[in-house]
Structure 1
Amino acid sequence: MTTKTLDVKGMSCGHCKMTVEGALKKLDGVSAAQVNLEEGKVDVTFDESKVTVDKMKEVIEDQGYDVEV
């Protein structure tokens, strides 16, 4: 398992937190996702053999947020 921190712009409330965490946790290979609203970051624990950072970035952007890796 690998843990990576993604910078996510545009998150401002509890709904944002639930949306981003929920989208990531639906991906096969993601075991944990923890949003820090104050810092605009998401810590994701995942299996690199099952999911890529690009795929995680894509699902977050599909929710309407900007991601910087």
Structure 2
Amino acid sequence: MIVRSRNGIVTIVVLLWLLIGVVAGFQRGYFGSSDPSCSRLATIAVTIVAGPLNYVGVNPRIGCSAPQPSQ
């Protein structure tokens, strides 16, 4: 019975962590643009994963470039 309650608590903590990351992304305006660049999507993902760390000064930004198709 104790194992189930620990798993439930861990699940709740992880979901809250990710929810806080989504809120941080909305506050920074990351979801308002329709520009699906690699850097933008990576920055959104890292912001969500960073969760509450966003509110203690972490400002994750990822730069990447996708290879261009051959002509």
TM-score using structure 2 length: 0.34
Using CA pairs under 8 Å that are at least 6 residues apart, name the structure with larger relative contact order, 1 or 2. Answer: 1
TM-score using structure 1 length: 0.35
Q: Highest Rg: 1 or 2?
A: 2
Whichever structure has more strand as a proportion of its residues is 1
Whichever structure has more helix as a proportion of its residues is 2
